[in-house]
Amino acid sequence: MKITVCIGSSCHVKGSREVVETFKRLIEEKGVQDKVELGGTFCLGSCRDGVCLEIDGQIYSVTPDTAENFFNSEVLKKI
């Protein structure tokens, strides 16, 4: 699975860096390095929401606070 996190200005100021760090930590903790690939892109076109990310063509919105829950519920479930 590929998770593409928006790293553009709008998401950057909303904490994309923390979201990426959380995902990186969780990928390692859960030992799913070979199943989840993390990437970045400059805009996913939903700037008004929180930090945007894309999984399999679908756009999601998270915050640094909800990133861990999102990973556990949405990402782990699908791999």
Please tell me the distance from the alpha carbon of residue 29 to that of residue 45, in angstroms, as a whole number.
31
Does residue 5 belong to the site contacting other proteins (CB under 8 A)?
A: yes
Does residue 1 belong to the site contacting other proteins (CB under 8 A)?
A: no
For the chain, give the number of residues. Answer: 79
Does residue 64 belong to the site contacting other proteins (CB under 8 A)?
A: no
Contact stretch for other proteins (CB under 8 A) within 35-43, 49-57, 61-69, 71-79: 35-43
Contact stretch for other proteins (CB under 8 A) within 28-36, 40-48, 51-59, 66-74: 40-48
For residues 30 and 76, is the Cβ–Cβ distance under 8 A?
yes
Please tell me the distance from the alpha carbon of residue 64 to that of residue 47, in angstroms, as a whole number.
16
